[in-house]
Amino acid sequence: MGNYSSDSATQRRENLQREKKFYVDAARLDYIENAYWSMVRQDIVKRDKNTCRMCGVEGGLLHIHHILKKRHGGTDRYDNLLLVCPKCHAAADKKLYDPE
């Protein structure tokens, strides 16, 4: 009745345990990253007084912008982050903003 052995059942169980551990570890990493960015966001909003650093609009939906993009070697250091409104964020992403 089939070619199933206890070894294959054990192997399937081990594979499922490894897969479960992978997803648990991934969820932990997501949680840590979200907690980190929540803290960074709070610090940047406080530093920039909840105001767009480009146009001066206060409050509303403000974004955190990397001055030098991470793909170009930028970091998550606070001196590379600005609080900007969506309109200014789009302009900054199009290189219309020079922080110097």
pLDDT the model gives residue 4: 56
pLDDT the model gives residue 25: 87
pLDDT the model gives residue 70: 87
pLDDT the model gives residue 71: 86
| C-alpha to C-alpha distance for 43 and 85, rounded to whole angstroms | 17
pLDDT digits (tens), the chain, 100 positions:
555 555 788 888 888 888 888 888 889 899 999 999 999 999 999 999 999 999 999 999 999 999 988 888 889 999 999 999 999 999 888 875 555 5
Residue position matching structure tokens 């206060």: 58
Q: Identify the CA nearest to 21 among candidates 11, 33, 29, 10.
A: 29
